[in-house]
């Protein structure tokens, strides 16, 4: 009795949720819902309604079977499609199912395979507001002081780290031709979409760069030329101290010339304390999407399908590239050099990411 009560309540509730006056509600009521009695009720039965003819069959079905039967009759969740995608967003997997006769819900994950993008930046010296790319004399000084050979530039490797989950709704505007669809939805993913770091074989150059700048800071701010200890109670000759001070002031400080601050002052990136140079690209976690697509069947049963989709993912502003010392290359710098500068100019001009995906899918039912 208790189970029958909950079954009746569930069916009534489901019928109430259906839009009034629709064909779906009429079919549901004709199948399961009670009909008003035309005869007088018996003394033992005060109910105003009697159950429809298929109610007993509905009670005999399991809840999942009743739900799938209703979905099949109303084109809701009556198909499950699994797809593999490849495109400008990377590789992906999707699940799709219809929610009405003219809309479909899609959910999936998309990630960018790891690959390397080589970059290089020149080492330059900075003195009296000017920048010079000729560091040959500094290279000689570094070798004389430390025995380390310093290159003219620093090579870096950038790698994408894109991983997004997506929830999309496809709308089929042509009921007689469901090959075309328009899509709206959003992507949610990691805020860090790329990282860059110096190559391992650049460590000697970076260590030499740090050693030179430490020596530059020491000798250009030294006041007592008679107090430069060498260890073991020995001190550097004052004349040699004066000679080093003159050389350092003549050559200037050095760094990796990335670009210029907006006030015109050059930005020379220096390695971190551990001897590395690093940067990361950050974007919004939530990214809206708009697109359109076309798909068609490969077999008569229409289980295998191929399709293409094109659209744009809105960054919500240009991605930010932040260096290990905290400088924001997107907001703080201009005239950024090399591939990074060209990429930054592009994303600033077009604050959307174009997506073109090809996919192959299989429908299970």
Query: Per residue, what are the HEC states of the chain?
Result: CHHHHHHHHHHHHHHHHCCCCCHHHHHHHHHCCCEECCCCCCCCCCCCEECCCCHHHHHHCCHHHHHHHHHHHHCCCCCCEEEEEEECCEEEEEEEEECCCCEEEEEEEEECCCCCEEEEEEEEEEECCEEECCCHHHHHHHHHHHCCCCCCEEEEEEEECCEEEEEEEEECCCCCCCCEEEEEEEEEECCEEEEEEECHHHHHHHHHHHHHHHHHHHHHCCCCCCCCEEECCEECCHHHHHHHHHHHHHHCEEEEEEEEECCCCEEEECCCCCCCCEEEEECCCEEEEEEEEEEEECCCCCCEEEEEEEEEEECCCCCEEEECCCCEHHHHEECCCHHHHHHHHHHHHCCEEEEEEEEEEEECC
Apex 70 CA angle, 10 and 184, nearest 5: 105
Q: How many Å is the maximal CA-CA distance in the chain?
A: 123
Residues 69/57, Cβ–Cβ less than 8 Å:
no
3-state helix, strand, coil in the chain (%, to 5): 30, 40, 30
Dist. CA 321–CA 332, nearest whole Å: 10
| Residue-by-residue pLDDT tens, the chain, 365 positions | 434 433 444 444 444 444 444 555 455 445 444 444 444 555 555 444 444 545 445 455 566 677 667 766 666 777 889 999 999 999 999 999 998 888 999 999 999 998 999 999 999 999 888 899 999 999 999 999 899 999 999 999 999 999 999 999 999 998 788 899 999 999 999 999 999 999 999 999 999 999 999 999 999 998 888 888 877 778 888 888 899 999 999 999 999 999 999 998 999 999 998 889 999 999 999 999 999 999 998 988 889 999 999 999 998 888 899 999 999 999 999 999 888 888 888 878 888 899 999 999 999 87
Per CATH, the number for 80-203+249-365 is 2.40.160.170
Residues 142/211, Cβ–Cβ less than 8 Å:
yes
Which pLDDT score is estimated for 28?
46
The answer to whether the predicted template modeling score (pTM) of the entire model surpasses 0.75 is no
* Sequence ranges of the chain with CATH classification 2.40.160.170: 80-203+249-365
Torsion of CA 271, 117, 315, 87, to 10 degrees: -160
Dist. CA 24–CA 175, nearest whole Å: 18
Residues 179/295, Cβ–Cβ less than 8 Å:
yes
Which residues pair with residue 307 across a beta bridge? 295, 359
């Amino acid at each position: 009795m208790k189970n029958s009560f909950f079954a009746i309540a569930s069916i009534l509730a489901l019928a109430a949720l259906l839009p009034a006056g629709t064909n779906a509600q009429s079919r549901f009521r004709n199948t399961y819902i009670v009909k008003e009695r035309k005869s007088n009720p018996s003394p033992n039965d005060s109910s105003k309604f009697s159950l429809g003819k298929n109610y007993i069959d509905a009670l005999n079905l399991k809840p999942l079977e009743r739900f799938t039967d209703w979905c099949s009759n109303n084109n809701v969740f009556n198909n499950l499609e699994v797809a593999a995608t490849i495109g400008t967003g990377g590789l992906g997997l999707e699940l799709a199912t219809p929610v009405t006769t003219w809309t479909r819900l899609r959910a999936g994950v998309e990630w960018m395979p790891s690959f390397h993008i080589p970059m290089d930046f020149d080492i330059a010296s900075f003195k009296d507001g000017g920048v010079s790319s000729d560091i040959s004399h500094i290279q000689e000084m570094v070798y004389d002081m430390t025995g380390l050979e310093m290159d003219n530039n620093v090579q870096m490797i950038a790698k994408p780290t894109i991983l997004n989950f997506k929830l999309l709704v496809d709308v089929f505007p042509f009921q007689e031709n469901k090959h075309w669809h328009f899509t709206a939805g959003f992507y949610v993913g990691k805020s860090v979409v790329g990282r860059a770091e110096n190559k391992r074989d650049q460590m000697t150059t970076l260590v030499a760069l740090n050693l030179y700048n430490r020596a530059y800071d020491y000798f250009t701010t030294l006041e007592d030329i008679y107090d430069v200890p060498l260890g073991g109670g020995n001190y550097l000759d004052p004349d040699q101290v004066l000679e080093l001070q003159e050389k350092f002031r003549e050559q200037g400080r050095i760094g990796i010339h990335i670009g210029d601050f907006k006030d015109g002052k050059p930005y020379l990136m220096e390695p971190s304390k551990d001897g590395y140079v690093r940067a990361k690209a950050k974007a919004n976690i939530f990214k809206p999407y708009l697109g359109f697509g076309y798909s068609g069947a490969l077999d008569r049963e229409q289980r295998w399908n191929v399709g293409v989709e094109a659209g744009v993912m809105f960054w919500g502003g240009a991605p930010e590239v932040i260096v290990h010392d905290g400088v924001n290359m997107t907001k703080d710098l201009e005239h950024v050099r090399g591939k990074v500068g060209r990429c930054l100019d592009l994303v600033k001009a077009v604050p959307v990411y174009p997506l073109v995906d090809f996919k192959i899918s299989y429908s299970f039912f």
